[in-house]
Amino acid sequence: MPTFAPALPSRTPSRYSEEAMTVRVLYRQDQDTWVASSPEVPRWTVVADTYAEAHQLAEEGVRFALERDDLTVEHYVPAGVAVAA
């Protein structure tokens, strides 16, 4: 499994910040569940039964955790792992 180096934001983001922010969400499949985490959101994790559910929870969850609606969320699944569109 690939290793991802954490990259934390230089300051605490605000819902009203004018600075654009991109959040990476990294997925892995553990037995019967999908797990999502983000280097930009320390100690934040999503666990779901399907990739689609984890994807939706991650989209909503990072915005809630960082208190921002103006995020770009990038989703990363390990190479060779098939997910339903």
Show me where the domains of the chain are located. Answer: 21-76
CB–CB of 21/56 below 8 Å?
Answer: no
Q: Tell me which architecture the domain covering 21-76 has in CATH.
A: 2-Layer Sandwich (3.30)
DSSP designation for 69: S
Instruction: Please give the pLDDT value at position 16.
Output: 44
Instruction: Please give the pLDDT value at position 5.
Output: 44
Q: Report d(CA 54, CA 62) in Å as an integer.
A: 12
User: pTM of this prediction?
Assistant: 0.72
Higher-scoring residue by pLDDT: 81, 17: 81
